[in-house]
Chains A and B, each alone.
Chain A
């Protein structure tokens, strides 16, 4: 019970921040996924896919996965980076009697909530565009929640490791941007060379894309990739432990 109270205490300020900036955050969250949808879904129009659904129905879950990455990662990393390096308010929190686990989980709530808003809005549009193929199920929601949480934890790791705002930009350019386009969001990873596939399966977004797509298109993809979900959760645990370690050893 105390743990949950601590998580709430840590997340409270970030939720107030979200409330103060709700409209701009909403617009920013949905803008790039819609642009991707228009550009890749309708602009390129590649007809039907090898799993028997239209390309738009195929690409929407991929863009949902991509949104979970970009929204969750950027919300957590940007706010924490500012709080840690510029406001110094992160230090204030570290001096308070909160458990490190509660700090890690609490600081990821902003990314989780913003990721869910972004993914939810995009998927609502997707359900209107492709009502025949796309499905909203508890498994889909679970996959999106896991994906947002994993990328929010990754955002926290990036913010804790960053020595400056510049190094955050470098991390985004070298890690996040390539993941955005390559990890099975706009195309099937299975269509690539096996060596390249092996590299992409080392990245969490590949597993998030596979899980979210399979949960969104249960008729086209009858076998849910449970291993990918386990791998995605393992990434989450690894990022959680890394954040905990960085805070415990004060390597921040």
Chain B
């Protein structure tokens, strides 16, 4: 087992009745990296996170987190992970501070250490003035920050963020990106699931694309685009947008010059959505 791989998933299978949600997934996440887990709705992203975070039992395969086999020692593995779920999962009957204390107590952090950690992290995330307020008095972005503080209190080796910006407005989304970047800068391994292409492109060191419960591409965003072709040409054929990818600008321009209809033609840099479309034949967010 490589020491610099903090998450090692081998042949992971999870079925819900007849439906196979994860179909022999293999994945390694390096220590300290910001890993993006990209895929359409229903591709198996959340199920994978739920399996790793022990919320859902998997049918077969193995998962190692920071060298700990999830099947053999769940308690130790849980201590190495922090998870922020897609839906804000704070207890709305308690204040922000009480939620944080609860989380610290679940990890049996001594009171003195707990109080110091809550202060340090709330100061860092700008939450100090909201600590004694009810959860619902905060906006979605601030609730996410509070959830991140809860998940960080026990100093996990790896932080899972399941669609953290889903449902947030663009300003809150950008603020949260800054938070994720700063966590990464501090050396925390971040496992980020998202179906926002621009999020994965803006934040991630490496990206894994999952479709129908399997990894279909895994590399740095730039390299994934290179593999398809750095330059994309969008053009219309019989009223339908078509795409072609080229290694260089000159190849793209040569292709465009040969087109019979030059209207609505766009030459641009290839992005991860192009990679996804090229690999799966459908656009991100279109599947169920």
A interface with B by C-beta (< 8 Å): 2, 5-6, 8-10, 12-13, 16-17, 20-21, 79, 82-83, 87-89, 91-99, 249-250
Contacts and interface: CB of A to CB of B under 8 A. Distances in A.
Given A92-B150, A95-B83, A83 B91 contact: yes
Interface in B180-221: none
Nearest to A21: B93
B248 interface: no
Interface residues of B, number: 31
Give the 8 A-B residue pairs with the shortest CB-CB distance, closest first.
Answer: A96-B106, A9-B105, A88-B89, A89-B91, A97-B78, A97-B75, A13-B102, A17-B93
Contact of B107 (A83, A89, A97): A97
Nearest to A252: B55
B106 A93 contact: yes
A21 B92 CA distance: 13
B89 A20 contact: no
B200 to A, nearest CB: 24
A93 B89 CA distance: 10
Contacts of B53: 95
Given A89-B90, A96-B107, A13 B55 contact: no
B144 interface: no
Interface string B83-97: 101011111111000
B79 A97 contact: yes
B91 A13 contact: yes
Contacts of A92: 83, 85, 89-90, 103, 106, 150
Nearest to B147: A92
A17 B134 CA distance: 12
B158 interface: no
B78 A96 contact: yes
B57 A250 contact: yes
Nearest to A83: B91
Interface in B102-127: 102-103, 105-108
A94 B55 contact: yes
Contacts of A17: 91, 93-94
B54 interface: yes
Contact of B55 (A6, A21, A250): A250
Interface of B: 53-57, 74-76, 78-79, 81, 83, 85, 87-94, 98-99, 101-103, 105-108, 150
Given A16-B98, A98-B106, A249 B89 contact: no
A50 B240 CA distance: 89
Given A13-B102, A96-B107, 19 more contacts: A9-B108, A12-B101, A12-B105, A13-B98, A17-B94, A20-B94, A79-B93, A87-B92, A87-B93, A89-B91, A91-B85, A95-B53, A95-B78, A95-B83, A96-B106, A97-B76, A97-B107, A99-B75, A249-B57
B52 to A, nearest CB: 10
A165 to B, nearest CB: 15
B89 A91 contact: yes
10 contacts: A9-B105, A17-B91, A20-B93, A87-B92, A89-B89, A89-B99, A91-B55, A92-B83, A95-B55, A97-B78
Contacts of A16: 94, 98
A189 to B, nearest CB: 39
A249 B57 CA distance: 7
Nearest to A79: B93
Contacts of A97: 74-76, 78-79, 106-107
Interface centre among A10, A17, A79, A91 (most CB of B within 10 A): A91
B105 A8 contact: yes
Nearest to B56: A250
Given A13-B98, A87-B90, A91-B85, A5 B55 contact: no
Contacts of A5: 108
A12 B98 CA distance: 9
Contacts of A20: 93-94
Contact of A9 (B93, B102, B150): B102
A183 B96 CA distance: 43
A92 B99 CA distance: 10
Given A9-B105, A12-B105, A94 B54 contact: yes
A13 B94 contact: yes
Interface centre among B87, B89, B91, B103 (most CB of A within 10 A): B91
B158 to A, nearest CB: 13
